[in-house]
Structure 1
Amino acid sequence: MALSYKARRRWALVILVVGLPLYIIVASVLATWLNPQNFLVTLALYVGLGIVWIMPFKSVFLGIGQADPDAPPEDDQY
């Protein structure tokens, strides 16, 4: 079942406000636990984790910045 535009906007907000900070904490704990000694390995780890978090939510964020397709057209006449 596809989410409506308003539902996708709400879920995107929840993901950004709640989920992203939690993911940042988990990613930093993971990076600390792995303790890479090389700067490039650390950089690659953070870049990889920064890309991986969005993959499951790609469909939620798709088209959020666009106008609501379900909204009635606005008249630009004054």
Structure 2
Amino acid sequence: MALSYKARRRWALVVLLVGLPVYIVVALNLVALIERPSILVEFAIYVGLGIVWILPFKKLFKGIGQADPDAPPDDGPGY
């Protein structure tokens, strides 16, 4: 069953406000386990982890910034 536009917006907000900070802490702890890598290796790890976290949520975030496709059409400013 596909999520409605409103449900996707709410879940996207939960992912950004709760999931992303948790993922950041996990990523920092993961990099801390490695014996002080060079700055380029560390940068590559952070970039890779930054891309990997969004892959499962790609479908959730797609189209969130656009107007609700299920909303009734707006007739304009109504002067």
TM-score of Structure 1 vs Structure 2, range by shorter chain: over 0.9
Measure, in 2, the Cα distance between the counterparts of 1:21 and 1:56: 16
Aligned residue for 1:15? 15
What 5-or-longer segments of structure 2 have no aligned partner? none
Compute the displacement of 1:34 (Å): 1.7
Tell me how many residue pairs correspond in the alignment: 78
Q: CA deviation at 1:38?
A: 1.0
Structure 1 outlier segments of 4+, above 4 Å = none
The root-mean-square deviation of aligned C-alpha atoms, in Å, is 0.8
Partner of 2:40: 40
List runs of 5+ in structure 1 lacking aligned partners: none
What's 2:67 paired with?
A: 67
Percent identity over paired residues: 68
TM-score when scaled to structure 1?
0.96
Between the aligned partners of 1:4 and 1:35, the Cα distance in structure 2 is 45
